[in-house]
Structure formats: C-alpha cells, structure tokens
Structure 1
Amino acid sequence: MTVRTEPPDVAPLRRPAVVRAVLLFGGLVLVALLVAASVGLGVRSVSLSDIIAALAGQQETVAQAAVVARVPRTVLAILVGAALAVSGMAMQAVTRNPLADPGIFGVSSGAALAVVIGISFFGLSSPWSTMGLAVLGSACAAVFVYTVGSLGRGGATPLKLALAGAATTAALESLVSALLLPRVEAMQIFRFWQIGGVGGATWDRIALVAPVIGIAAVIVVLTAPGMNSLALGDDVATALGERVARTRAFAAIGAVILCGAATSVAGPIAFVGLVVPHLGRLLIGTDHRWLLPLSALLGAALLLAADVVGRLVARPEEVEVGVVTALIGAPFFIWIVRRQRVRQL
C-alpha cells in the first residue's frame, strides 16, 4: 500500500509587484493596530491619554503602570509570532510538507524536554542555558522526526512526517510529565511552559532572544530563493544549479533556531507556524522572497491578537496565547488534512 498526496491549491508564484507591496503594507498596518490594542486593552482598561503618558515615561497612575507593563509583553508577542511563522514556513519548504509546523513536528516538545532535563538533572535555569538547551532539543527532535518519517517506501511523505511528528510529540510530552511530577521545584520553574504564553515578558529576556531570532531570520532570508527551487523538486532544482543539500540544511538550521529561541522565552505555542504560511500563500503567492516577510507580519499579528483575546474573554483572569492559538489552529489543521485528498491504493 502506498500513500500519495497532492499539494493544496495555492496562489500563483508571481503576483504584480503593486499587489505584493499593498499586501505587505496592509500587514504592517494590521500589526500596528494590534500593537495599539495590545497596549491599551486588558484586565484594566486605559485611556489614550494614559497610553501617551506611559509611553513618554510616566507611571503616576495604575493605568499608566499597566501600559508600561504591557509594552515588553507586546514586543515579545511580535518576536515570538514572527519567529514561529517563519520557522513553520521554512519547515514546509524544506520538507515540501504542507502539514509542517514546529508544534506538530515535535520540535517545540523537543525543546521543552531538553530544558526539563537541564533543570532536573543539572540545575540549569539561566536564560542563556535555557535558550541553548531549547535550540539543541529542537534540533534533535527535528532530525528524529525526519528520520522516522523517511523510513519505508516513498521516503518522507507529508502524511508519514505528520504521523511521526504527532507520535514524537506525544512521547516527548509524556517524558516531560514523568520528569516533572516527582520534582516540585523543577515543576515550579517550568510550569509556565506547559501552555505557552507571553505574560512573563521582561526586557532582559527580549534583549537575550532578539539577536538570536534576528540572526536565524537572516539565515532563512538568504535561502528564500533556493526555497523556490526546492518547490519544483530536487531534480529540477539541481538542474537549475541549486545546491539542494546546502539550501535545505541552512533553511532547516534557521527554522530550528527560530523555534528553539521562541520556545525558550514563551513556551511551546502550536499552530502559528502551520496557519500563517498557508494564509500567506493564499494572499501573496508562493514566492518565498515575498512570502517570508508577509509570514513574519501575519505571525506577529496572530500572536498579538491571540494575546489580546486571551486577556479579554476571561477578565479579570487571562487565557494564555497557547490555548487561543490551539483553538484557532486545530480546526485549520483538520481542514488542511482534508484538502490534501489523501488516497490509498
């Protein structure tokens, strides 16, 4: 029995430059509007004058202090959302798998397990060690899932990779629980990772993770032209002069670092890397040189919107962004699977 998949219908590779520019500008406007909403909306409502005064450095009232506290949270949501979206886009390009996502492929769970091991057995809890362990765990999980998904006839098909990723995610999450349950102190340190959120944002953490995300994003940007060639198939890409192995390796490295760095500060947030690239392809086409910046903008917008919604729906409590993105992403994942028209022969 073999399984064949057909790629979903997507927008054409090329769109007029004016349309692309308008879409990117629209993405910037959307992010700007959501930044304003993120700063102004929450458990405590604030006025425009409070926002302006707080951004000018004043903290004379509770409302102004609330605005000041929301600014790093907003910045972190932008960084994490953009990183996860670009990571998912790169994974989909490298594997030619429309179901690829850091959460679905077990990459986020691998990062979480590595951090738990570091905390439980080696007492590592500094921001640098956490980020390093997260990136290492992400890389190991990605290699393992791709290896398992490549076994058997047909190689690394989208369905086999998705199944391998789902099984790996379940196994890694079970190991995380097994390590944490008898270790109360480690659980206290790690518990914010269980759902994923940006509520614990600080400027120190942002200063630590922002350069790493920036470097990884540059790596992915440099491989964007090669991703267009990979979409045509390895044989065609090689005939066009593309170094397939090098392009795939660098894109995968960038994707893993982006996922690991984002997970180290926000915990495992699923489905952002799945939903955003598909939406971007429908809007701007499949040219990765344009798809990458639009995905970054849409990823930032999605996480900002999820954070704002999470603050408003359960006031005075909050719903973490990981829960909101799961509610959005799970139905979308089912829809994508149905569109693949999987046929068994």
Structure 2
Amino acid sequence: MALTLAVARTSGVAGMRRRTARRSALLIAALAVLALLCVASAVLGVREVTPDDVFSALAGDTSTISEAAVAKRLPRTVLALLVGAALAISGAAMQAVTRNPLAEPGILGISSGASLAVVVGIVFFGLARPFSFMAIAILGAAASAVFVYVVGSLGRGGATPLKLALAGAASSAAFVSLTSAIMLPHVDLMRTFQFWQVGGVGGASWGGIAAVLPVLGIGALICLASARGMNSLALGDDLAAGLGEHVLRSRIIAACGAVVLCGAATAVAGPIGFVGLVIPHVCRMLAGPDHRWLLPFSAVTGAGLLLGADVLGRVVARPAEIEVGIVTAVIGAPFFIWIVRRQKVREL
C-alpha cells in the first residue's frame, strides 16, 4: 500500500511538472508572437516604412514623414497591448464570477454602460480630464453589471447563461440608444466621438497611456490576486464554501477587478467587444482551467489579438482604416454563435 501511494505521488508530481513545462513553453511562444506583432504594428500601415525609420523614431528622430508615422504608431501599439490584455483578463474574471461561458464586457452590456456614463459626464457635467473619464466609466460599468445580473436573475432558474446574455444584449441596445440620443443634439461631440463609439486605438497618446496605466495595473492585480478564489468558485458555491472559501467576498473582489479593467479600457479606447469572450476560451484549451495560468495567458493572447486586429484594419482598407472594434466583432461574432449553440446542446 505504501509503495502504491509513493508511486502515485511520484506520478502526480511528474505530471504536474510536465503540465507546467508545457504551459511555460506555450506562454513563451505567445510572447514571441506578440513581439512579432509589435514589430508589424510599427512597420505596417497606410504609409510603408523601413527598419531604419523604426530605429530612428525610437531614438526620437521624426524629421521625415515615415519616421513621424512610426512615432505615431508607437503609442497606438502600446495602447492596443494594454486594452487587449485588460479586456481579456476582465472577460476571464467575469466568466469565473458568474460561471457563465458567455460572460464578456461587451455581451453583458458593461462596456456600453461605461460608454453611456462617459457621454453623460461629458455632456451634463463637463468632464474633460482622463482620470474623470475613467472614474465615471468604472462607475457606469459597475452599475450596468449589477443591473444586468439582477435582470438576468429574475424568474425561474436564476442567472442562467442564456438569460444573462439576453439581458446583456437588451441592456446594451438600450445603453447605445441612450448614448446616441444624448449626443445627437451635440454635433461637435458626434464628430469627436463617432470613432470612439465604434472602439479604436487610433487616437492613442503617451499622456493617455500614462493616465490609464496605473488604473489598469490596479485592476489586473486585483484579478490576479483573486485567481485562487476563482478556481474555488468554478467548483460551485457549496463546494467552495466547504473548502473554506468566502464565496461572496471572492466573487465581489474578482468582479471589482473586472469592472475596473473594463471601465478604464472603455474610457480610453471605446467599447471593444468579443475580446473578453474569445480569448479566455482559447486560453483554456491551451493552459487549462487554472486561473493562476489562465489570467496571464489571457493577458498575453488578448494583447496579441487586439494588436493583430488593429494591424489588419490598417492593411486591408488602405489608404483608409477599419477601426479595431469592427475587426474584433467580425472575428468574435461567429465564435459567440458557436458558444451559444454548444451551451444549448449541453442544456438539452
């Protein structure tokens, strides 16, 4: 018996080491792909540039048009990385908190709620500072999250994935309509925010990045610190409580981190959908359900997806550009339909 236990323990340790090595190799590969996408983001666009232009722009020389174009793409690249990582982590955390595979800031109407709050703040309260944008966006995201969850919980069965998705879609449509109604009499705002409403990173600046970076960092740290609690929540509330987890506290903390990330990302880049839906599912196939690995994987892969979508939007429509929010919608909509169909089959 002792020999059998020792063999089982040794086999378990060896299996854990193999999984860790595999995850580490995949994470390194994802980082390598992300580095290549960063180079592509600096080089590709409406204007063709050379590697010398990239190096000159990095050194601060913007004397030529090509070097100036590269210098403009650098903050855009960094913002796409930050927003993509934030939305992916937020989506993974929301799926863990709600135990809903359809949970995502855009689908649940949280991004639209944050957008509505920003527009209300600008039109009625005259907000103009980046931190005020992020503060009111986070409040709007939190309010819309609570509203959608309450509406989705009504009726028999509680907050099922399909009911939450329907409540989120209806709420999102209402928030978008209210946003348009508020902005319609203000032509100047309509022109300023028409691309922001679609979702994009074309207006990135180093000042905006410096303002949003600490907020995104706080949200990411909250989610990462809640990774063990998310693992417990995945087992079910009763079993998590039996393991000593404070279910309500863990759920609230993780949700707060997700809302902060979603609100700040929406304030700086507009409502960008489907990143938080697609990436966590893909990363679960690669890294497994352990959120201590899933969240870092989601951050790297989400950054790569949004940056790749931004590069693609610049290339396919030359000399014009397609906003990154449109590209992610084209990518994510079929994936969303596949998830809904698979979930419906499981419930039959």
Superposition TM-score, scaled by structure 2 size: 0.93
Task: Give, as a single letter, the amino acid of the residue that structure 1 aligns with 2:85.
Answer: A
| Partner of residue 66 from structure 1, selected from 61, 66, 69 | 69
- Give the distance between the partners of 2:144 and 2:172, measured in 1 at CA: 9
- Give the distance between the partners of 1:122 and 1:13, measured in 2 at CA: 55
- Give the distance between the partners of 2:283 and 2:347, measured in 1 at CA: 30
Q: Once the two structures are superposed, what CA deviation does each residue of 1:125-145 show, in whole Å capped at 9, x if it has no partner?
A: 221211111111000000000
| Partner of residue 138 from structure 1, selected from 137, 141, 151 | 141
Report which of the two structures shows the higher radius of gyration computed on alpha carbons.
2
Match of 1:155 in 2: 158
Match of 1:37 in 2: 40
Q: Secondary structure at the match of 2:204?
A: coil
Q: Secondary structure at the match of 1:341?
A: helix
| Partner of residue 323 from structure 1, selected from 322, 326, 347 | 326
Shift of 1:190: 2.6
The alpha-carbon distance between structure 1 residues 327 and 233, as it changes in their structure 2 partners (threshold 3 A), is: same
The equivalences for 1:71-86 within 5 A come to 71-86=74-89
Shift of 1:191: 2.2
Any conservation in 2 of the 1:15–1:284 contact (CA below 8 Å)?
A: no
- Give the distance between the partners of 1:186 and 1:204, measured in 2 at CA: 21
Task: Give, as a single letter, the amino acid of the residue that structure 2 aligns with 1:290.
Answer: W
Q: Secondary structure at the match of 1:269?
A: coil
Structure with the largest fraction of helix = 2
1:232 aligns with 2:232: no
Q: Once the two structures are superposed, what CA deviation does each residue of 1:266-314 show, in whole Å capped at 9, x if it has no partner?
A: 0000000000000000111000000000000000000000000000001
Task: Give, as a single letter, the amino acid of the residue that structure 2 aligns with 1:33.
Answer: L
Q: Secondary structure at the match of 2:198?
A: coil
1:186 aligns with 2:192: no
1:334 aligns with 2:318: no
1:24 aligns with 2:27: yes
| Partner of residue 117 from structure 1, selected from 108, 113, 120 | 120
1:221 aligns with 2:224: yes
The alpha-carbon distance between structure 1 residues 159 and 342, as it changes in their structure 2 partners (threshold 3 A), is: farther
- Give the distance between the partners of 1:75 and 1:344, measured in 2 at CA: 41
Any conservation in 2 of the 1:85–1:295 contact (CA below 8 Å)?
A: yes
Any conservation in 2 of the 1:14–1:285 contact (CA below 8 Å)?
A: no
- Give the distance between the partners of 2:102 and 2:347, measured in 1 at CA: 18
1:275 aligns with 2:247: no
- Give the distance between the partners of 1:343 and 1:53, measured in 2 at CA: 56
Match of 2:6 in 1: none
The alpha-carbon distance between structure 1 residues 325 and 46, as it changes in their structure 2 partners (threshold 3 A), is: same
Shift of 1:186: 2.8
Which runs of 5 or more structure 1 residues have no equivalent in the other structure? Answer: 1-11
Q: Once the two structures are superposed, what CA deviation does each residue of 1:209-240 show, in whole Å capped at 9, x if it has no partner?
A: 00100011000001001111110000000000
Any conservation in 2 of the 1:119–1:186 contact (CA below 8 Å)?
A: no
Q: Which has the higher contact order (CA 8 A, sep 6+)?
A: 1
Match of 1:97 in 2: 100
- Give the distance between the partners of 2:256 and 2:325, measured in 1 at CA: 24
- Give the distance between the partners of 2:346 and 2:135, measured in 1 at CA: 41
Any conservation in 1 of the 2:195–2:323 contact (CA below 8 Å)?
A: no
Any conservation in 2 of the 1:14–1:286 contact (CA below 8 Å)?
A: no
- Give the distance between the partners of 2:267 and 2:124, measured in 1 at CA: 18
Match of 2:260 in 1: 257
Shift of 1:343: 7.0
- Give the distance between the partners of 1:337 and 1:309, measured in 2 at CA: 27
1:300 aligns with 2:303: yes
Shift of 1:71: 0.4
Shift of 1:188: 3.1
The alpha-carbon distance between structure 1 residues 53 and 226, as it changes in their structure 2 partners (threshold 3 A), is: same
- Give the distance between the partners of 2:38 and 2:233, measured in 1 at CA: 35
Between the aligned residues of both structures, percent identity stands at 66
Shift of 1:344: 7.4
- Give the distance between the partners of 2:161 and 2:79, measured in 1 at CA: 32
Structural RMSD (CA) = 1.5
Q: Once the two structures are superposed, what CA deviation does each residue of 1:60-108 show, in whole Å capped at 9, x if it has no partner?
A: 2211111111100000000000000000000000000000010000000
Task: Give, as a single letter, the amino acid of the residue that structure 1 aligns with 2:173.
Answer: A
Match of 1:8 in 2: none
Shift of 1:15: 6.6
Q: Which moved more, 1:187-196 or 1:291-300?
A: 187-196
Which runs of 5 or more structure 2 residues have no equivalent in the other structure? Answer: 1-14
Task: Give, as a single letter, the amino acid of the residue that structure 1 aligns with 2:174.
Answer: A
Any conservation in 1 of the 2:106–2:271 contact (CA below 8 Å)?
A: yes
- Give the distance between the partners of 2:194 and 2:312, measured in 1 at CA: 22
- Give the distance between the partners of 2:293 and 2:111, measured in 1 at CA: 26
